[in-house]
């Protein structure tokens, strides 16, 4: 359910090859953490959301927003997530993000823990298919 590889590629195609690579690697990480993840690409907005269902405001836990030199990995409830490593940036009421500038960052256990926790925080459980 959700995004096809083609839609994913269309959403990130206007960004540099290094940023596209980061997006693909981050996508793989999310799919490893939550194999049943529901992914939705908004091709026109050039963003991709990840959740336990298709509803952006109630079922998504994180999203990608590619930029010119990094990938913003955003968290819908980032302000409420445990972040002992202080990875999260931003000042909004709920949303926070991590700027991913290298594939090495995606191996950081603190980031993996943050993602793992986000998959269960304030989102419904994954529905059986």
What are the pLDDT digits (tens) for 49-85?
Answer: 999 999 998 999 999 999 999 999 999 999 999 999 9
Among 42-51, 67-76, 96-105, 119-128, where is mean pLDDT lowest? Answer: 119-128
Per-residue pLDDT at 7: 94
Q: By percentage, how much of the chain surpasses pLDDT 70?
A: 97
Architecture of 5-118 per CATH? Alpha-Beta Complex (3.90)
**94-97 contact pairs (CB < 8 A, 24+):** 97/65, 97/72, 97/73
pLDDT at 129: 63
Over residues 26-32, the mean pLDDT reads 97
Given this model, what pLDDT does residue 127 score? 75
Which pLDDT does position 126 carry in this prediction? 83
């Amino acid at each position: 359910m959700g995004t096809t590889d083609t839609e994913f590629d269309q959403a990130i195609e206007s960004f540099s090859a290094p940023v596209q690579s980061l997006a693909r690697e981050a996508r793989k990480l999310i799919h490893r953490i939550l194999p049943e993840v529901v992914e939705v690409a908004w091709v026109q907005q050039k963003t991709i959301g990840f959740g336990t269902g298709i509803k952006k405001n109630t079922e998504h836990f994180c999203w990608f927003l590619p930029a010119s030199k990094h990938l913003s990995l955003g968290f819908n409830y980032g302000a409420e997530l445990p972040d002992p490593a202080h990875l999260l940036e931003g000042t909004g009421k709920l949303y926070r993000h991590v700027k991913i500038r290298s594939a090495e960052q995606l191996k950081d256990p603190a980031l993996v823990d943050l993602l793992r926790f986000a998959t269960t925080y304030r989102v419904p459980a994954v529905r059986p298919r």
